[in-house]
Amino acid sequence: MRILRVSLVASMLCFEALLLCAQTGGGEAALKSGKDIYRAACVSCHGADGRGASRSSVGFQTRLPDFTACAFATKEPGVDWISIVHQGGPARGWSRIMPAFGDALTREQIEKVVEYLRGFCTSQAWPRGDLNLPRAMVTEKAFPENETVLTTSVNVQGASAMTGQIVYEKRFGAANQLEVTAPVAVQQKETGARLAGIGDLTLGWKRMLFHSMRTGSIFSVAGEVNLPTGDKSKAMGSGVTVFETFASYGQILPANSHIQFQGGIELPAHTDKAPRAAYWRTAVGKSFSRNGGFGRTWTPMVEFLADRDLVRGAPTNWDVLPQCQVTLSRRQHIMASFGVRVPANNRAGRPVQVMFYLLWDWFDGGLREGW
């Protein structure tokens, strides 16, 4: 505890010195570049090379981040980094050892130093977290992730049914992601009896092919195999192995808006049991954040979903899915979303569904951390 108090005092002395420097005419010129600001405010703890100063020199045991580690330095959007520098570590549920520099530095200066420290990752293969667009209910995003998502859908029209699925996503390196989806369904028959069971297990691999912060775009391709683990007699599975391939594209738009596209084809191993099918999806949304962009974020979105069996005369089904995602934790690694999927045509046998998901970005910490 004594070591912690010493480190906090040292951080505050550094902060006060920086504040005095910024308030004098001579100090203003010295704090114009991100490199100069980093040397004045950050180097004593984070080291000249961005790997973190030794614990003996900083006087505390808390592990300091390594800004040269691209898996760490690229994942979050810039606003998260700016928030921590501006308001201190507790603003995002991190250590209070990280002081707030909002009174010593302008927003422009904070943006410059954040850009500089993110430059310690020298590999261009890793996409910036700004391209990690909000997750839509159905449209697959292009950014490779480390997430666990629990999704639930409930029919509010027609046959009573509730389906849920757990999606586990694991990122490998800069561009690859493994995905496992395990569905569970509960249905009520006309007799009143309830049936429950697992659905078809899905294994997938996604590969990011292109990303650019200059254009605000990201593009990925993926392949999946749907295994017939569900009971087809209970309408909980297709009864056939289905291979699926798709492409995903995300684009940052002005004013914290975005658009995402996904298009794919489903290829069953036996077309006598299930037809080939194609689908295309679009999600459009805009994010609003409290406290000048540093607080809780709300992202209303709408998805336009279409699918069609690839057989002569088959109709194209269209759905509209308005929804809203909200961050729950200060660290913004726990999120929830609520939406309603409504058939726009061919409504017979296609019920309205209420949909909900709870998302855990476990790379940023445990379920009980960052609140």
CA distances from 108 to 33, 113, 115, 356 (A): 10, 9, 11, 38
What pLDDT does residue 257 have?
Answer: 97
Which positions ≥6 away from 273 have C-beta within 8 Å? 238, 239, 240
Q: What is the pLDDT of residues 128-144, one digit of tens each?
A: 999 999 999 999 999 99
Which positions ≥6 away from 151 have C-beta within 8 Å? 137, 164, 165, 167, 355, 356, 357
Every domain of the chain and the residues it spans: 2-118, 129-364
The SS3 of residue 333 is: coil
Write out residues in the chain with pLDDT < 70, as ranges. 1-30, 56, 58-59, 61, 158-159, 187-195, 234-235
Please give the Cα distance from 130 to 82 (Å, whole number). Answer: 13
Give the pTM: 0.86
Q: Which one of 1.10.10, 1.10.760, 3.40.50, 1.20.1070 gives the CATH number of domain 2-118?
A: 1.10.760
What pLDDT does residue 43 have?
Answer: 84
Contact 243/223 with Cβ under 8 angstroms?
A: yes
What pLDDT does residue 137 have?
Answer: 97
- For the chain, report the end-to-end CA distance as a whole number of angstroms: 23
Please give the Cα distance from 371 to 368 (Å, whole number). Answer: 7
What pLDDT does residue 95 have?
Answer: 80
Please give the Cα distance from 228 to 242 (Å, whole number). Answer: 8
Residue that the structure tokens 């050892």 belong to: 97
Structure tokens at 167: 């999606």
* Long-range contacts formed by 23-29: CB under 8 A, 24+ apart: none
> With b meaning 16 or more CB within 10 Å and e meaning fewer, what string describes 232-260?
eeebbbbbbbbebebebbbbbeeeeebbb
What pLDDT does residue 191 have?
Answer: 58
Give the pairing of strands 257-268 and 353-360: unpaired
Which positions ≥6 away from 23 have C-beta within 8 Å? none
DSSP notation for 144-188: ---EEEEEEEEESSSS-EEEEEEEEEEEETTTEEEEEEEEEEEEE
Q: Which one of 2.40.160.40, 2.40.10.10, 3.40.50.150, 3.40.640.10 gives the CATH number of domain 129-364?
A: 2.40.160.40
What pLDDT does residue 32 have?
Answer: 80
**192: exposed, middle or buried (C-beta count within 10 Å: 0-12, 13-18, 19+)?**
exposed
Which positions ≥6 away from 1 have C-beta within 8 Å? none
Q: What is the pLDDT of residues 303-358, one digit of tens each?
A: 999 999 999 999 999 999 999 999 999 999 999 999 999 999 998 888 999 999 99
What pLDDT does residue 11 have?
Answer: 45
Continuous segment of H or E residues that includes residue 37? helix 34-41
DSSP notation for 257-302: EEEEEEEEEEEES-TTTS--EEEEEEEEEE-EESGGGTS-EEEEEE
What are the DSSP E strand ranges found in the chain?
147-155, 161-172, 176-188, 194-198, 202-212, 217-226, 242-253, 257-268, 277-286, 288-289, 297-309, 316-327, 334-343, 353-360
